[in-house]
Amino acid sequence: MEAAIIGGGSWGSAFALHLGRLHLKTQLWIREKEILEGLQETRQNRIFLPGFSLPPEVSFSADIRETASSAGTLFIAVPSRFCRQVLKEIAPILRTDQVVVSLTKGIEEGSLKRMTEVMQEVFLPRSLPRLAVLSGPSFAREVAEKHPTAVVIASSASESARAVQHLISDIHFRAYTSADIVGVELAGALKNVIAVATGISDALHFGHNTRAALITRGIAEMSRLGLRLGAKKETFLGLAGIGDLVLTCTARMSRNYHVGFELGRGRSLADVLAESPMVAEGVTTTVSARDLSLKEGVEMPISREVYRILYENKSPRESLGDLMLRTLRGE
């Protein structure tokens, strides 16, 4: 195999579709028996990516170790809360000549580790493959529909980033490279929290002024935390930062925006999450963002209020008042 993907959700399936269209021999691992059988019979993931048939270059497997060992480039596309267990399953068979690329936009709850930090912790002291992360404004369905998409691939090993860049780029999908793996991962995770806030705001009919303020002040607090943790400011002004933030804060198909919108309409978090099999990473990332801001002593008022709405049953209108009436300061 030239590539392999762990995770048969919407993003993993769309990415497999993209790689297959590039005529790359790709294996996709799926844990759910129903989805695997459906793909084997119809080549369609009717639960997470209905309406698209994966090309013959893509094969399907229920054997995670066989899939992980089958390719030189391995993409991890599972929700952050499942990543550690999945990584433990594949750690014994990974090789130093492989590149493992995280497609997950989240921060592990509790440990507060980024996905590549979890990888390093799980893979060592065994052979450590080269690590990278792919992020940016990239809705799965739009990638499947061949809408022009631009992403960024970050790695501390520049040759690995360039190798993945050339492997996955074509006229529909353009990849840039970065050495700022900290910034790319943090931006990709934290933007989901701001998207929840924007969904709440739109449901309350606060208007475009409010949305623009949330996006702008959101990137400001994301950058503050990123800089404290060693990221580069320019990363937050690029595809992984402002690019992905604008996407998730302005599009109804964003799962995180949708969660916020439904909360703003007065529904409970439990009811909103129960209606869809898809994971909204912003719900758990809100906890990690709150904990990281407290640990690092970084002021993140929007993330703090989203946490209070999600987990302390605070009224969204009360949160807005508290945000607007904070001590006045310079920008």
Looking at the chain, list the stretches that DSSP marks H as alpha helix, in order from N- to C-terminal side.
10-21, 33-42, 64-69, 80-90, 115-123, 140-144, 158-168, 181-203, 208-228, 244-250, 255-264, 269-274, 281-296, 301-311, 316-324
Q: What average pLDDT is seen over the chain? A: 95
Exposure letters 57-85 (e unless 16+ CB within 10 A, then b): bbbbbeebeebbbbbebbbbbbbbeebbe
Confidence of residue 26 (pLDDT cuts 50, 70, 90): very high
User: What's the rounded Cα separation, in Å, for the pair 96 and 237?
Assistant: 33
Q: Which residues are catalytic?
A: 191
User: What's the rounded Cα separation, in Å, for the pair 311 and 233?
Assistant: 30
pLDDT at 88 over 80: yes
* pLDDT average, residue stretch 50-76: 97
pLDDT at 18 over 80: yes
**pLDDT recorded at residue 277:** 80
* pLDDT average, residue stretch 264-285: 89
**Which tens digit of pLDDT belongs to each residue from 209-239?**
999 999 999 999 999 999 999 999 999 999 9
**Which tens digit of pLDDT belongs to each residue from 127-151?**
789 999 999 999 999 999 999 999 9
* pLDDT average, residue stretch 79-99: 95
User: What's the rounded Cα separation, in Å, for the pair 203 and 175?
Assistant: 34
**pLDDT recorded at residue 125:** 77
**pLDDT recorded at residue 69:** 94
pLDDT at 1 over 90: no
**Which tens digit of pLDDT belongs to each residue from 162-187?**
999 999 999 999 999 999 999 999 99
Residues 6+ apart with CB under 8 A from 159: none
Domains observed in the chain: 3-179 (3.40.50.720), 182-324 (1.10.1040.10)
* pLDDT average, residue stretch 317-324: 91
User: What's the rounded Cα separation, in Å, for the pair 258 and 315?
Assistant: 18
Distances (CA, A) of 10 to 17, 42, 143: 10, 16, 10
**pLDDT recorded at residue 320:** 87
**pLDDT recorded at residue 204:** 95
pLDDT at 258 over 80: yes
**pLDDT recorded at residue 156:** 95
- Supply the DSSP symbol for 107: B
Contact status, residue 181 vs residue 154, Cβ threshold 8 Å? yes
